[in-house]
Amino acid sequence: MGKQKTVTTSSGQPIRKKPLSIRMWNSRGYYLMFLPVFIYVLIVYYWPMLGVRYAFYDYSLKNFEFIGLDNFKEMFATKDFWRAFFNTLQLSVIKLLITTFASVIISVFLNEMGNMVAKKTLQTVIYLPHFMSWAVVAAIFTLFLSKSSSGFVNETLKSWGVIEKSIDFMHSKAWWRPIYYMVNVWKETGWGTVIFLATLSGINPELYEAADIDGASRMQKIWNVTVPALANTILIVLILNLAKVMNLFESVFVMYNTRVYKVADVISTYIYREGFMTALPNYGYTTAVGLFKSLVGCVLVLVCNFASKKVRGRGII
């Protein structure tokens, strides 16, 4: 049995604190409820981290040998890796900016709607795509953008006389990125409006009343009252999402193909191809690439945490 300690509260009142063992025993029910979650986290999130050591090995189907930093030297000397790295940054950042901007515009539009039935209906329609899996979304847009007679977009453009020959949107380097951004806006913008609508609902109505007294038009009220109220939230959303820019996989994986690797291949899909789609995969090399990706993500999280402290006074971690 440990000895009781005397601690002083913030009000200056001394109290006796029970030993840790006794406090744990008294709260044993809570610890038992927490135990399954703790074991799950250890097994799923921390146990696989032991595999990081393979980044320093030549770990293939025929060989297992310690080679130090050779995998990293090979990685930094590979053009495909740098292409995937810069594609990841470009696709993630541009997607983040476009979807955030679209979410803000739609949120302001919904906030200005006076007909509540139309507003709720439109909100529901906009939210629905978020709950569809990326596989289904990719299948829908691949069908719509197909070169065949079933391709709605190509057939419509040809019937309007805009084009004479069908465009292979999903296999074109020039068209793949615009299509990717468009699909992301369609799928994720509705869900992104939730946080902005919550912010808009908290704006003091007296600000709008004061603007009415000053004779401000609707657009002037939006620009001088609504937008400034959203500015801090927009910045926070950008900061929080910037920490996740390296975690790009599913949305690209279900939409890209061999013809658009140059503009669509990202770090995660590059790891997948090197680890599972080659005749003699080197798991040590792919582990090294994954470790580098995690380190870059960690740096981004720390940078975003620092920026968050500067903007809102507290960090994200």
Per-residue pLDDT, 8: 59
Mean pLDDT by 10 residues, the chain (317 residues): 55 67 84 92 89 87 84 92 94 92 90 83 88 91 86 88 87 92 92 86 83 83 84 82 85 91 92 86 90 89 79 67
Contact status, residue 175 vs residue 263, Cβ threshold 8 Å: no
Per-residue pLDDT, 16: 67
Per-residue pLDDT, 91: 94
Residue position matching structure tokens 């937008």: 227
Per-residue pLDDT, 1: 46
CA distances 68 to 53, 56, 62, Å, are 10, 5, 18
**Taking the CA of residue 178 as centre, how many other CA atoms within 13 Å lie in the half-sphere pointing to its CB?**
6
Contact status, residue 315 vs residue 305, Cβ threshold 8 Å: yes
Domains of the chain: 5-66 (no CATH), 77-312 (1.10.3720.10)
Per-residue pLDDT, 86: 94
DSSP code for 114: -
- Give the burial class of 158: count Cβ atoms within 10 A of its Cβ; 0-12 exposed, 13-18 middle, 19 or more buried: middle
Per-residue pLDDT, 10: 56
Per-residue pLDDT, 6: 59
Q: Give the separation between CA 173 and CA 139, rounded to whole angstroms.
A: 19
Tokens coding 149: 């007679």
